[in-house]
Structure 1
Amino acid sequence: MTYSELISQIEHVAKQLKAQDIKALALRAENSIHWAVVDLAAMSADVVVVPIPTFFSDAQVLHTLEQSCVDALVGDWQTWLTAHTEQNKITSPSSLSIAHLPLLRRQSVGQKAYLAGTGKITFTSGSTGQPKGVCLSYEHLGNVAQSLALTVQGHAQSHFVLLPLSTLLENITGLYVPLLLGVTSSILPAEQTGLLGSNQFDPHRFASALATIKPESLVLTPALLLALIQIAKQQPNLTKSLSFIAVGGARVSEQLIKAAQALDLPVFEGYGLSECGSVVCLNTPSDFKIGTCGKPLPHTKVRLAQDGELLVKGNTALGYLNEPFTQQWLATGDLAQIDEQGFVSLLGRKKNLVITLYGRNVSPEWIESEAMAFLPTVPLIVTGDHQQALCAVAKRHKNIEHEIAKLNSTLPDYAQIRTLLLLDNPAAISAWFTDNGKPKRQNIEQDVEHLLKRKTNNFTWERQNIQRVEVPVCHTHAHFQTAS
């Protein structure tokens, strides 16, 4: 689609939105140019957009709809609605469409009292399972995109959208920034890119897409960078076109960056969060320091609190739903260092969060508390920081694998337990617990990381007989086809 064709589509859909008197819409669909048109048309028509990732669990989708009070649903909703009572709030037939995506009108429950200036509400995946709505103005989104565009200008003429557009990072870097720079953005459905859900990945499909598109820029999570490194080792010609690869969503190890550089992959770590409109810091070819997430973008400032927490100014959202941000400096919850040149290095989270290699924040206490319904007498210790999937340490118990599978069926895919380490008695490992029995999570994370590197599934450690069990993936909801 050319730029002039895109403008025409945006104007047409914006008129449709106004004619339908839509105030706020929930956009739930796989990546497609139709997704992009709806998003941009809503911006033009001053309609609030609530992007909903297709990897959200059923409970998270319901929570998001209830919190955001949207009056329209656009995209892949029909199958989902068939299985939920939410369909009772639909007020129009399913024959309507907008930008080739199905449109349903919804009777919102509650009053839409958005923070003044709200244009987009992005829901984080939620460290406790309940997504939290971050209210962003279109002016703020424009400032972030413009700042990024100035920072990366001249480094790439074509971008390949790999991450879901429903995530704020790719929404800005894969749609807004290319438009500001006047470059090409290739948007394909997940079935062609290889990224299914939030952490299911098919490297063969990804390699095929690279061969077809030959992009110059990508935005990746650390886990996807690992996949790209393997492709570069086996088929180096597929990565020759790349000139700028931004990596974020979770802390990137210095070793991973070096491994990529050794293969001539132009990888640059960045850092951001939804509460700051996505990207805050970024390395670039002209301003790069390995082991850091770069310098702040031109429109923002950073400093450290006394306890080392990173604070951000000039790049903050309006607030959470019904909870405006009033502080001048936003506390990020991340511990960091800032060197004399202004490069920012992340040290870890203040709160006790697990951040997977796919950039998903998960509270281990959330999973552990959910597990009590299935294994009330067998406490779990959930780990997985900087790992591709979650692991649970537990005492051996009859039918534990079956119960974990049932637990997984209630969780979004990124929060499912994929590996079990079954011990005779975890409580006997004194280094893992405080005197009052609370887990020392840092110690456990470090030990589990080493235990997972063992080559056998049955071994002895710390006088404990340990069995490693892999738990099959549980698909908690259907994947929808992209509308044509």
Structure 2
Amino acid sequence: MNKILKAIESNAVSKPRQIAFRGQNHIGDVQSISYFELNKEVDMVANLFLAMQAKCIALRADNSLDWLVIDLAAMKAKVCLVPVPTFFTDQQVEHTLAESGADVLVGDWKDKVDPITCIRNMPIYLYASGNERRYLPETSKITFTSGSTGSPKGVCLSEQNIENVSLALAKSMEADQVCHLSLLPLSTLLENVTSIYVPILLGITSQIYKSETLGLTGSSQLNVKAFAEALVQFQPNSMVLVPAILMALIQLVSREPALSDSLKFVAVGGARVAPELIEQAHQLGIPAYEGYGLSEFASVVSLNTENHSKAGTSGRLLPHVEAKLSEENELLIKGNSALGYINEPFTDEWFATGDLASIDSEGYVTIEGRKKNQIISGFGRNISPEWVESRAQVFLPECPMVVTGDAEASLTAIVGAGKAIEERIERLNQTLPDYARIKNLLIVSDMSARKEWFTSNGRPKRKHIESWASCIHKQYIADPLVTAKTVKTQFEYSEI
């Protein structure tokens, strides 16, 4: 039995009445679960999975206390679990089920088959995927990335992978933190680890509420007023944020300083964070610390903490991880690497991350950027601009388009002029998952006039285009080729 499950049993004996998790169940009722009750519930559901002879469980549901019990029960029953993000498109969901070969579905699957039973408010379905098991031996969890294209990639993680990173993070936390708030979707590996496993190892209380209660919709939309109200009500000591939500928190605290009073540790990851943003947070009393991680290493690889922090870096490596740079300054990592991708075991000693980086003499890692063109949004979603651009050809065949938005809260499309551009962009957005939709639109009257934007064979020079788009957004300088601008921001601070 791994140390996470042992901690549940130990806490159930040493402090049975201590609240392990507080929040909402799957149907929205507010409840609490003590460590004694958690141990009992996990055992009961694990026995159910064993009786069903479940091999691979796909869990699709909003955050809830029921979600975490299903997750821990699958771990105890040694059944592979596949968390399925609720913001995946139908095509991505079908791909996930087909790739994993899931035989049991738990949660929101009304469109599939009729449920056979219900456990902890969660419907359970038997499912015939038609595929044999393709995940690797010893796989405890398959985490599917949001996908840089329409087909997410499944990372096979062992129980040991998950235990290693959870223990390392628990050791890095301050002892006086007694109340964590889960904000991001639990289907996100980082949130899964930091909101369930780490609090159990620390023996503290974690608060798990539905996304709407906290102001979150989908993967990248935030109701700032609801978020502020949640901070007042739940008084968390710790949270994990993506950069876009950190920016919202900074705006909130700048107006209502008391909102940060309870905070002792705020980890920020999922995308690059500007050093100025971290500095601004600290000046406002927000203890924000940047980290870096990969699904291929069970989430966190490096982290800044209160005692070991350097602005502009992603912190020091966790103890079980080693890193070095290639000749091209690509970050290479080993230690706690995943088993591999579905049907594709890792065999190399060092894993090439695809990130350009530097490592200073004190061991602090700085991520410089992606080796290729992949965009990582401010909400931590991986997006290939070529994917969105190719989808746009269906709706705007006569209009060239280039997509930008690395580390931003939303994507920007620079597009040639044409009829009903905005309407056609909206139609395009309906075919994309929410994190890959175009929210900012710059219409250029004649993109062909920008010779410096394209190579001789017509391929976009992305750095030139991104630089121009950044100037437009930051300075709003009038440009003779810009005939229209539509900027739909993720956060409406004026509503507060």
Q: Match of 1:444? A: 465
Shift in Å, 1:436: 2.5
Kept after mapping to 2: 8 A contact 1:16/1:98? no
Deviations 1:259-286 (A, max 9, x none): 1011011111000010111000000111
Cα 1:246/1:275, change in 2 over 3 Å: same
Cα 1:454/1:291, change in 2 over 3 Å: closer
Kept after mapping to 2: 8 A contact 1:282/1:297? yes
The separation in 2 between residues aligned to 1:235 and 1:58, in whole angstroms, is 40
Q: Match of 1:477? A: none
1:199 aligns with 2:217: no
1:426 aligns with 2:447: yes
Of the three residues 225, 235, 239, the one matched with 1:214 is 235
Shift in Å, 1:152: 1.6
The separation in 2 between residues aligned to 1:230 and 1:153, in whole angstroms, is 26
Equivalent residues in 2 for 1:31-46, closer than 5 Å:
31-46=63-78
The separation in 1 between residues aligned to 2:307 and 2:279, in whole angstroms, is 17
Task: Give % identity.
Answer: 50
Shift in Å, 1:466: 3.1
The separation in 2 between residues aligned to 1:290 and 1:203, in whole angstroms, is 26
Kept after mapping to 2: 8 A contact 1:269/1:283? yes
Kept after mapping to 2: 8 A contact 1:144/1:279? yes
Q: Match of 1:395? A: 416
1:225 aligns with 2:267: no
Kept after mapping to 2: 8 A contact 1:311/1:331? yes
Deviations 1:316-355 (A, max 9, x none): 1000000000011111110000000000001000011111
- Gapped runs of 5+ residues in structure 1? 82-86, 474-484
Equivalent residues in 2 for 1:61-210, closer than 5 Å:
61-78=93-110, 81=111, 87=112, 90=113, 93-94=114-115, 96-154=117-175, 156-210=177-231
Kept after mapping to 1: 8 A contact 2:100/2:134? no
The separation in 1 between residues aligned to 2:116 and 2:103, in whole angstroms, is 17
Shift in Å, 1:387: 1.4
- Gapped runs of 5+ residues in structure 2? 1-32, 491-496
| Number of equivalenced pairs | 458
TM-score (norm 1): 0.92
Of the three residues 454, 466, 484, the one matched with 2:483 is 466
Kept after mapping to 2: 8 A contact 1:51/1:166? yes
The separation in 1 between residues aligned to 2:228 and 2:482, in whole angstroms, is 41
The separation in 2 between residues aligned to 1:98 and 1:121, in whole angstroms, is 22
Q: Match of 1:318? A: 339
The separation in 1 between residues aligned to 2:174 and 2:47, in whole angstroms, is 33
Of the three residues 312, 317, 323, the one matched with 1:302 is 323
Which 4+ residue blocks in structure 1 deviate beyond 6 angstroms?
Answer: none
Shift in Å, 1:99: 2.4
- The SS at the match of 2:140 is strand
Q: Match of 2:45? A: 13
Q: Match of 1:327? A: 348
The separation in 2 between residues aligned to 1:259 and 1:189, in whole angstroms, is 29
The separation in 2 between residues aligned to 1:329 and 1:155, in whole angstroms, is 37
Q: Match of 1:478? A: none
When the two chains are superposed, the root-mean-square deviation of aligned CA atoms in Å is: 1.4
TM-score (norm 2): 0.90
Shift in Å, 1:451: 0.7
1:250 aligns with 2:267: no
Shift in Å, 1:179: 0.3
Q: Match of 1:365? A: 386
Shift in Å, 1:42: 0.2
Q: Match of 2:296? A: 275
Deviations 1:236-267 (A, max 9, x none): 11210100000000000001001101101111
Shift in Å, 1:18: 0.8
Shift in Å, 1:16: 0.7
- The SS at the match of 2:409 is coil
The separation in 1 between residues aligned to 2:399 and 2:377, in whole angstroms, is 24
Shift in Å, 1:98: 2.0
Of the three residues 343, 363, 368, the one matched with 2:364 is 343
- The SS at the match of 1:373 is helix
